[in-house]
Chain A
């Protein structure tokens, strides 16, 4: 009998204008949104590939260890086509630096080309599903019981050996069955657009997660069907029911997602980023002072220095110079590296406190937003698509672990104590200052001091290096890049469906709990429903 009622509701609904309009809106909006998101994803991939090439090219120019700063790029997430999550607002590229432990991605290659468009609401597939399906579910269910009562069909059903609870369950599944084809159309259209695109190829993980998204979407709209039913049972007339349904819809879809941010910002106030930057600046200034003091203590070699560096992170590349000069800069670079790493530890304490507060604020906002089924749906979808905050933090944790292992490898004796830390010139090609001046002046001056006294050293050496190219082995271009195998490489595991299920389980649990509570309350109300 429950099936008869479900079937009746399904057949009765699919020939209504509500159903046809719903399908039409989905057919109109979904392909458009998916097309735009596919286009964005393709661009992100292109940018990612270009950036990868750029990094590879840059690495070819790294010829000393102290200049090596690995750059990490996060690959665009394929399911960002469905749900962009926080990816759009957070960077996807970070350069590992001695002076600071990586906490946030510091550059976004995926920002909108036109920044003026950022003022507009950016909508993805999941947001459309969240908005449309909840509205469709409420439109089909707000008067489900009221109409049966006013049309006397409820009486005609209950004249048979069937309880009100069974009528309710039958009707609930009838409306669920009605909305299911609309959802199916949405997903089919999206998948079709992905399949026909030759630039996108999804693996088992992606298809599995899309299936998971589909199931979460079913639970999502069922919550709204249950909500509509609840209203149609507790409210006696359809006008009041539709008004309250729409108010709740606005509350869940538009008010809660904004109000939760204000509440979280009110209760948890992390230090302003500008203040943190100020503290960092003070630490960096301290580094400069230390560095300058140390530099003064060192005996400056009596040799005209031709070198490059330091870069903004204490890296030195010393070429076209003598062993004395190389050793001088080696000492300086080692000192600066140690100070920078010490400072990174100091900054880490401030960063950890700041990040803890940010996470606390975000968690508060997230849990407040869980009063809205739409927000729970979005949270679970982003966690399935790996575009949520947790996926981001997991990635950053891997980056931080990589930072630690990279620093460990830098501090290894064979790296930091090797002259290659500051110069690409190999041992056998390194010359003393006297050897250089002697060769440069064709034996006119035996020592650098002699040439300095005659105030000739700089001119002679410059001429020998730049004009006559007498010392090709002292030139950076003579050498190839450093051996990167001495350093750990960054890898981030590709997660599959299991991880997506684990990620979304809590949200899915809340969604199911919400559904069960609504069903239970409505059944309780239905049992005492006045016909």
Chain B
């Protein structure tokens, strides 16, 4: 479970990146955070992962304060970033092995890694190829495999579909559904409204650091999420 209470971040230059965010994502729920660039989506993820300190407010992962016990909270969270570069001289399996071991999974076999890479849609012949030969989409799949192999109860994804072809994106959707069904809380920052419509249980729209709208699945299916989001974006442009 992910929870934020009045979570606020003001950077040293005075810019208010996040303003009093109150949010709760329960296990078995997929939450999509939509917003323009610079709206505060990545700041939210960074605060939840304790990569930056909040100015005010608290963030909890499975009820543990991320500021007070960051190392403990990290046991319960995995993350997929927008640009997964990883280690170019290592194969997909070696990258997976390294991060799995860092995540505490020390007794996994080669077969376990292959299964996971297969599960995220990577071709068998790419498992032992150096990552520097991979396309962005392929690297994204390895990044997803790294997040999934940790088997954490909370998954944070920052623009995970960028760079994925439609087939891979569909596979990601299926995977996330599977994770949700396993009771995991999924928090995804994206511009991808179509994926949100397809997958989200709730959608939040963020503008200039503030959560300006929160929509339950029933509502955004009824009211056309795309129109709502574009209206919102228009407001930002104006």
Contacts and interface: CB of A to CB of B under 8 A. Distances in A.
B98 A152 contact: no
Contacts of A12: 87, 89-90
Given A1-B102, A15-B89, A152-B85, A158 B51 contact: yes
B84 interface: yes
Interface in B135-170: 143, 146, 150
Interface string A319-361: 0000000000000000000000000000000000000000000
Interface in A137-167: 150-153, 155-163
A153 B72 CA distance: 20
B83 A152 contact: yes
B81 A160 contact: no
Nearest to A162: B102
Contacts of A150: 85
Contact of B102 (A15, A160, A531): A160
B46 A8 contact: no
B99 interface: yes
Given A8-B98, A12-B90, A159 B79 contact: yes
Contacts, number: 68
Size class of the B contact interface (CB-based, 8 Å): 20 to 34
A161 B104 contact: yes
B52 interface: yes
A160 B74 contact: yes
Contacts of B46: 531
Given A153-B85, A153-B87, A530 B99 contact: no
A155 B87 contact: no
A156 B81 contact: yes
A251 interface: no
B78 interface: yes
Contacts of A502: none
A156 B71 CA distance: 14
Interface residues of A, number: 23
B98 to A, nearest CB: 5
Interface in A283-302: none
Contacts of A8: 87, 90, 98
Given A8-B98, A531-B51, A162 B84 contact: no
B104 A160 contact: yes
A163 B71 contact: yes
A155 B82 CA distance: 12
Contacts of A5: 102
Contacts of A1: 101-102
Nearest to B82: A152
B77 interface: yes
B79 A156 contact: yes
B86 A161 contact: no
Interface of A: 1, 4-5, 8, 11-12, 15-16, 150-153, 155-163, 530-531
11 contacts: A11-B94, A151-B85, A156-B99, A158-B49, A158-B74, A160-B75, A160-B103, A161-B72, A161-B75, A161-B104, A162-B71
Given A152-B81, A160-B104, 19 more contacts: A4-B101, A5-B102, A8-B87, A11-B94, A12-B87, A151-B85, A153-B87, A155-B49, A155-B51, A155-B79, A155-B81, A156-B79, A156-B99, A159-B74, A159-B103, A160-B99, A161-B74, A162-B71, A531-B46
Interface of B: 46, 49, 51-52, 71-72, 74-75, 77-79, 81, 83-87, 89-90, 94, 98-99, 101-104, 143, 146, 150
